[in-house]
């Protein structure tokens, strides 16, 4: 066994080496896998103001312009700081292979290695449907299966649509800055094939001061559009939120909602549906969140988008054979989740009574997108699995997981009826610490709710009513219900019961700035205070559960799905889609922007 001393000196050496080599930061970062012909911004950040005559950047030993086809701009003082940068927008490499990039300012040098990969010439799949259950974890999967399938003789009576797929892999979700990812850089990994950092979409995280100036990478939307395909994004979050935004956006800061609306517009994406209308309204309209008077509703209409603000309008637009572009905005905030939308009528259902659920939006999108004979890429997100898991609202999260399964079930039926040439991928962007630990039985004796928890054989089976045709039990507050626990939480009052009056708000900041349990739940029958296990002060103070670094499951079927197996990086999912759709440049599809390499 290695001695502690030698281990420490090796660690010191590694640190020292990396310090020497970090004189320049080169984007894309080392070990990037780059789709041949895809566009990326090439940037070298020097740690001081450099003498242009001393700067040398080579790729595989020759001047970088030989590979990238054009010259970068040397910015003497980036953002007026005492540092220089070399920047080349919209670079690309068409020839597959290993590329070693070395940059020097005459004093120190650093290197990165990229792998450029090609795709088959002929596409295996005509269409791709990518399902993302935001925050969708193993615990949700088990809980939804119990609620919507039931158990007989110790076996589930049937399979979930997401389970009944022949290929499966574990995806790892860490990013360039952290072992823990957020929905922005996680979705970015799927839509660009590059790793990035928390809060970033379509960019590497550089030192640029402006969130829109970071080195960009091309999205699947742009690539698919370049190949003449249709593209759609369907969600029940705000359409500007991280996962749908990753289809089109390039920003270091996911909260740049107004800019993201413009990016959706510029992307020419064919179908986009979700909530979040205020960022489309000119500031002179009451209810707008814009800072300018640009009317994006009007701009989208002028660009031939049909507008739908309700399910009724959506169905009418989708059924019109002339509709090839559709903008659906169904709520000012997030579209309500399945439990509120279908059963409890809480949330904003009274205000927005005619919202579609995710499967209905997806079906409308499929109708519109399939009018493009070159095929389509559609991202479908069940977004609130994550949001409800943050708020420790297990039942709402589970019902939205069931909604995801319904969407997948209907997509599989659609694919089968429409040529069997659609690659279907179902995954999560990151995990939550969520587990099924047993049941809670109100009929157990005693006043304390914790002593009504059944574990092991005492858990038995819950007594939810048989599910409806869509897999939802029509009653969630049953007497013997699932006990689902979250492993990361702020201080909160555990009520041992579903939140029938609306989404749970576990913690609130108090007058001293400390995150404390929301005492609105203090007097709920049997409520018990849980002292949190997350920071409660300072910038990291958590008012909800947090994402975890656990792997997520990817299941897949259809042409190209056989590439899904074992343990994969989340960025590999992009490659699976790119290969199935043959997205690297073919001779006839050579882009004028692509280099001559």
Q: Which is nearer to other proteins, 227 or 547 (CB)?
A: 547
* Residue 212 found at the interface with other proteins (CB under 8 A): no
3-state SS assignment for residue 186? helix
Is-contact 201 212, C-beta < 8 A? Answer: no
d(CA 375, CA 366): 11
Segment near other proteins (CB under 8 A); pick from 5-13, 14-22, 116-124, 511-519:
511-519
* Residue 141 found at the interface with other proteins (CB under 8 A): no
**Residue 547 Cβ, how far from other proteins at the closest point, in Å?**
6
Q: Which is nearer to other proteins, 128 or 317 (CB)?
A: 317
Contacts of 99 (CB under 8 A, 6+ apart): 59, 60, 67, 93, 113, 114, 115, 116
How many C-beta atoms lie closer than 10 Å to residue 399's C-beta? 31
Residue in this structure with the two tokens 């009018």, named with its chain if needed: 371
Q: Which is nearer to other proteins, 116 or 263 (CB)?
A: 263
* Residue 314 found at the interface with other proteins (CB under 8 A): no
DSSP for 356-412 reads --HHHHHHHHHHHHTTSTT-EEEEEEETHHHHHHHTT-HHHHHHHHHHHHHHHHHHH
Residue in this structure with the two tokens 């997520």, named with its chain if needed: 552
* Residue 353 found at the interface with other proteins (CB under 8 A): no
Residues numbered 376 to 405 that lie near other proteins (CB under 8 A) are: 386-387, 390-391
CA 62 to chain centre: 38
Out of 541, 549, 562, 589, the residue judged to bind other proteins by CB under 8 A: 541
* Residue 352 found at the interface with other proteins (CB under 8 A): yes
Residues numbered 225 to 264 that lie near other proteins (CB under 8 A) are: 238, 240-242, 252-258
Q: Which is nearer to other proteins, 85 or 544 (CB)?
A: 544
Out of 37, 133, 471, 506, the residue judged to bind other proteins by CB under 8 A: 506
Out of 31, 159, 351, 475, the residue judged to bind other proteins by CB under 8 A: 351
H-helix or E-strand spanning residue 555: strand 552-557
d(CA 521, CA 496): 11
Out of 431, 543, 548, 555, the residue judged to bind other proteins by CB under 8 A: 543
Q: Which is nearer to other proteins, 110 or 355 (CB)?
A: 355
Residue in this structure with the two tokens 């890429």, named with its chain if needed: 377
Segment near other proteins (CB under 8 A); pick from 120-128, 329-337, 472-480, 567-575:
329-337
Q: What is the x/- site pattern for other proteins, positions 404-443, by CB under 8 A?
A: ----------------------------------------
Q: Which is nearer to other proteins, 213 or 572 (CB)?
A: 213
d(CA 506, CA 273): 29
3-state SS assignment for residue 27? strand
Q: Tokens standing for 15?
A: 């640190």
Residue in this structure with the two tokens 């309008």, named with its chain if needed: 313
* Residue 344 found at the interface with other proteins (CB under 8 A): no
3-state SS assignment for residue 273? strand
Q: Total residues contacting other proteins (rule CB under 8 A)?
A: 65
Q: Which is nearer to other proteins, 242 or 339 (CB)?
A: 242
Q: Which is nearer to other proteins, 35 or 339 (CB)?
A: 339
Out of 43, 140, 214, 547, the residue judged to bind other proteins by CB under 8 A: 547
Segment near other proteins (CB under 8 A); pick from 33-41, 401-409, 452-460, 513-521:
513-521
* Residue 345 found at the interface with other proteins (CB under 8 A): no
β-bridge partners, 583: none
Does the N-terminal peptide bond of residue 206 adopt cis geometry, omega within 30 degrees of 0? Answer: no
* Residue 331 found at the interface with other proteins (CB under 8 A): yes
d(CA 140, CA 396): 11
* Residue 123 found at the interface with other proteins (CB under 8 A): no
Question: 271-275 and 326-329 as β-strands: parallel, antiparallel, unpaired?
Answer: parallel
Closest CA to 271 of 310, 233, 223: 233
Contacts of 73 (CB under 8 A, 6+ apart): 86, 87, 88
Q: What is the x/- site pattern for other proteins, positions 283-302, by CB under 8 A?
A: xxxxxxxxx-----x-----
Q: Which is nearer to other proteins, 47 or 262 (CB)?
A: 262
Task: Read off φ and ψ for residue 413, nearest 5 degrees.
Answer: -65, -40
**Residue 518 Cβ, how far from other proteins at the closest point, in Å?**
6
**Residue 515 Cβ, how far from other proteins at the closest point, in Å?**
9
Segment near other proteins (CB under 8 A); pick from 49-57, 331-339, 440-448, 586-594:
331-339
Out of 89, 268, 342, 509, the residue judged to bind other proteins by CB under 8 A: 509
* Residue 278 found at the interface with other proteins (CB under 8 A): yes
Task: Read off φ and ψ for residue 492, nearest 5 degrees.
Answer: -160, 165
Closest CA to 88 of 38, 24, 31, 40: 40
* Residue 510 found at the interface with other proteins (CB under 8 A): yes
CA 39 to chain centre: 21
Segment near other proteins (CB under 8 A); pick from 91-99, 228-236, 507-515, 557-565:
507-515
**Residue 333 Cβ, how far from other proteins at the closest point, in Å?**
6
3-state SS assignment for residue 119? coil
Is-contact 254 203, C-beta < 8 A? Answer: no
Segment near other proteins (CB under 8 A); pick from 59-67, 282-290, 356-364, 458-466:
282-290
Q: Which is nearer to other proteins, 122 or 291 (CB)?
A: 291
The number of CA neighbours under 13 Å toward the Cβ of 125 is 30
**Residue 130 Cβ, how far from other proteins at the closest point, in Å?**
20
The full length of the chain comes to 597
* Residue 491 found at the interface with other proteins (CB under 8 A): no
**Residue 539 Cβ, how far from other proteins at the closest point, in Å?**
4
* Residue 100 found at the interface with other proteins (CB under 8 A): no
Burial class (CB in 10 A: 0-12, 13-18, 19+), 189: buried
β-bridge partners, 435: 485
* Residue 518 found at the interface with other proteins (CB under 8 A): yes
Closest CA to 114 of 571, 570, 566: 571
Q: Which residues sit at the interface with other proteins, rule CB under 8 A?
A: 135, 182-183, 198-199, 238, 240-242, 252-258, 277-279, 281, 283-291, 297, 309, 329-334, 351-352, 386-387, 390-391, 505-513, 516, 518-520, 537-541, 543-544, 546-547
């Amino acid at each position: 066994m290695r001695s502690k001393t030698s281990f420490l000196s090796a660690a010191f050496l590694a640190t020292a080496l990396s310090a020497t080599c970090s004189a320049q930061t080169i984007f894309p970062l080392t070990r990037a896998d780059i789709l041949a012909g895809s566009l990326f911004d090439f940037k070298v950040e020097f740690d001081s103001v450099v003498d242009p005559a001393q700067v040398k950047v080579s790729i595989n030993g020759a001047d970088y312009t030989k590979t990238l086809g054009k010259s970068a701009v040397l910015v003497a003082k980036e953002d007026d700081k005492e540092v220089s940068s070399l920047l080349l927008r919209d670079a690309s490499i068409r020839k597959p292979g290993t590329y070693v990039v070395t940059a020097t300012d005459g004093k120190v040098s650093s290197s990165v290695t990229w792998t450029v990969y090609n795709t088959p010439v002929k596409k295996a799949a005509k269409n791709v449907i990518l399902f993302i259950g935001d925050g969708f974890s193993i615990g949700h999967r088990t809980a939804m299966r119990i609620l919507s399938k039931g158990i007989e003789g110790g076996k589930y009576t049937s399979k979930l649509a997401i389970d009944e797929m022949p290929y499966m892999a574990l995806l790892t979700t860490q990013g360039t800055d952290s072992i823990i990812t957020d929905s922005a850089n996680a979705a970015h990994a799927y839509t660009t094939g590059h790793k990035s950092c928390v809060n970033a979409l379509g960019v590497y995280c550089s030192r640029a001061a402006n969130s829109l100036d970071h080195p960009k990478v091309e999205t699947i939307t742009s690539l698919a559009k370049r190949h003449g395909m249709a593209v759609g994004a369907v969600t029940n979050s705000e359409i500007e939120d991280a996962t749908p935004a990753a289809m089109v956006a390039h920003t270091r800061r996911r909260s740049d909602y107004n800019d993201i609306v413009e990016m959706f517009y510029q992307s020419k994406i064919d179908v986009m549906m979700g909530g979040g209308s205020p960022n489309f309204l000119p500031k002179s309209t009451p209810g707008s969140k814009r800072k300018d008077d640009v009317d994006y509703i009007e701009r989208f209409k002028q660009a031939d988008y049909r507008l739908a603000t309700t399910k009724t309008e959506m169905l009418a637009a989708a059924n019109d054979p002339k509709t090839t572009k559709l903008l659906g905005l169904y709520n000012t905030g997030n579209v309500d989740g399945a439990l509120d939308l279908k059963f409890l009528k809480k949330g904003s259902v009274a205000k927005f009574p005619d919202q579609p659920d995710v499967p209905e939006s997806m079906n409308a999108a499929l109708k519109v997108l399939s009018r493009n004979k070159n095929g389509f890429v559609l991202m479908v997100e069940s977004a609130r699995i994550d949001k409800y898991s943050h708020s420790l609202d297990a039942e709402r999260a589970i019902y939205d997981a069931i909604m995801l399964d319904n969407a997948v079930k209907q997509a599989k039926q659609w694919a089968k009826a429409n040529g069997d040439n659609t690659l279907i991928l179902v995954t999560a962007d990151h995990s939550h610490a969520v587990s099924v630990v047993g049941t809670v039985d109100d009929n157990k004796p005693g006043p304390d709710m914790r002593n009504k928890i059944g574990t092991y054989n005492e858990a038995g089976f819950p007594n939810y009513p048989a599910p409806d045709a869509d897999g939802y039990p029509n009653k969630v507050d049953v007497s013997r219900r699932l006990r689902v626990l979250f492993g990361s939480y702020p201080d909160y009052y555990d009520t041992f019961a579903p939140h029938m009056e609306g989404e749970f708000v576990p913690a609130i900041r108090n007058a001293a700035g400390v995150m404390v349990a929301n005492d609105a739940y203090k007097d709920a029958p049997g409520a018990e205070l849980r002292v949190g296990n997350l920071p409660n002060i300072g910038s990291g103070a958590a008012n909800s559960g947090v994402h975890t670094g656990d792997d997520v499951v990817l299941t897949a079927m259809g042409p190209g799905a056989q590439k899904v197996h074992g343990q994969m990086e989340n960025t590999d999912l992009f490659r699976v889609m790119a290969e199935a759709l043959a997205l690297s440049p073919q001779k006839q599809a050579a882009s004028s922007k692509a280099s001559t390499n």
